[in-house]
Amino acid sequence: MLPFGGYGATFKGRRYRVTKSRMASGRSQKLEAEELGGNDYISFNLYRLESGGVLLRPCEMTEQKVTTFVLGLDVD
């Protein structure tokens, strides 16, 4: 699980500035990651449903890109 707050991280040898925040009393989370010195940008919202499930909503990118990024991210 990625920590909340702002921090540096590496993905596939590239450096990113990551910000993860809670919203709606913790029922939703937002993650944004900007590549330092490059053009890549990752952004998504994750909603925790009353049923116990989760809903991933990437912002203008595929779920696959988001999932690959999160699973491969190495936090400082």
Structure confidence by residue, pLDDT tens digits, 1-47:
899 999 999 999 999 999 999 999 889 999 999 999 999 999 999 99
DSSP states of 2-62:
PPSEEEEEEETTEEEEEEEEEEGGGTEEEEEEEETTS--EEEEEEEE-TTS-EEEEESSS-
Q: Among positive and negative, which fits the CA dihedral 40, 37, 74, 4?
A: negative
User: Cα(12)–Cα(3) distance, rounded to whole angstroms?
Assistant: 19
* pLDDT at site 49: 95
Range of the domain at 68: 5-75
- Number of domains the chain contains: 1
